[in-house]
Amino acid sequence: MKMRYLTVEQIEVTGRRVLVRSDLNVPLDGGAVTDDFRIHAALPTIRTLRAAGARVIVCSHLGRPKGPDPALRMDPVAARLAELGGFDVRKVDDVAGPQAEAAVTAMDEGDVVLLENTRFDPGETSNDPDLADRLARLCDVFVQDAFGSVHRAHASTVGVAQRVTSAAGLLLVRELEAFSRFLDEPERPYVVVLGGAKVSDKLGVIRSLLPRTDAMLIGGGMCFTLLAAEGFAVGESLLEEEMVETVREVLEGPGGDKIQLPTDVVVADRFALDAPHRIVDAGEIPDGGFGVDIGPSTAERFAAVVRGAGTVFWNGPMGVFEWEAFRAGTARIAEAMADSKAFTVVGGGDSVAALRMLGLEGRISHVSTGGGAGLELLEGRALPGVEVLERWADG
């Protein structure tokens, strides 16, 4: 994988206004940050710029608002960023308007300003030239560090980078280097583990990776559409009926024999935390039963494949891991990843959340901040927020 870009260490930032596009899209509950993984990941670039004497302006989206939403203001993120970083963060109440301009004008070297949620501005998702111009006027240099957003051509990921000297931040470089090991010459066996709710979300990556992988292990809600394509009854389990024929073609096509599906599953009487549940063979899910996890035999089989791999990518939990009763399959895969001697990458918010819940994130080669971006990169698709950096690669 050949990508050309400046890095943050290659640009002069002392005394300059540096706009950093971070990924601070973190979960909130009651106005408090409940998982600060992405804030931790954003700190090395911000600290590096502060130490070099830059005036650091940080921007990010939060959630998917269609305009201003009081529940998705960046104030709790600013508070947590300041707490973790050990520096003051001035949060302003607009994206690139008069308050932002005034705050940036008043900055000294090492100061940090956090702009309001970029998606509060209607021009963000359409890459509106006016918003891109206003963001560009706030800075002398742009640093792209939001791997989780580089697959989107938005004003804060692409538009501003078309207008001012731009470089890759430390997090972005680390992410791209990790994923390059899958795209170049991965150590064999190369294993992909996929889970999560919908097979439609991952059909592209399944098709793209099958020719390159040695084994693809599929669990989570998406596995029931594949099981249905093989002729199994799936009860009330999550099923995308419109995808069954397409999935059958994949299973019967070239490389389809590399796909491994559950042979046993955990089935609940209803989709609820306290639902009675039992283990059944994959072909014996009763009418009215809800598949909520891969079964123990499948978990052990999948874990053995992971332990014997040379390279492993995992995206998506094996079941409803948020509920302890249905966490065992996800936990077994996470433990196998942690014990593996392979180069291991975990991407996707739910997979990372499961790792953190289990305290295993420190035993993975690379824990990615970008689920969607990572999948698109593995599919071989261009990432607009990275491509735009190439125009500045020669300084």
Residues acting as catalytic residues: 38, 198, 349, 372
DSSP 98: H
Spatial distance between the Cα atoms of 229 and 252, rounded to a whole number of angstroms: 10
Q: What are phi and psi of 336, to 5 degrees?
A: -65, -40
- Cα 60 to the chain's mean position, in Å? 14
Spatial distance between the Cα atoms of 275 and 280, rounded to a whole number of angstroms: 15
* C-beta of residue 179 within 8 angstroms of C-beta of residue 56: no
| Peptide bond just before 189 cis, omega within 30 deg | yes
Vertex 374 angle, CA 263 and 212, to 5°: 60
DSSP 180-209: HHHHS-PPSSEEEEE-SS-GGGTHHHHHHH
Spatial distance between the Cα atoms of 137 and 118, rounded to a whole number of angstroms: 15
The first and second tokens of residue 321, run together, are 């891991």
DSSP 236: T
Nearest to 343 by CA among 215, 218, 190: 190
Q: In sequence order, what are the residues at sequence separation of 6 or more whose Cβ sits closer than 8 angstroms to the Cβ of residue 57?
A: 17, 18, 19, 20, 100, 104, 107, 112, 113, 115, 138, 139
Spatial distance between the Cα atoms of 84 and 36, rounded to a whole number of angstroms: 9
What separation in angstroms does the CA of 157 have from each of 45, 152, 226, 370? Answer: 16, 7, 36, 14
Strand order in the sheet with 141-144: 90-91, 112-114, 55-59, 17-21, 141-144, 166-168
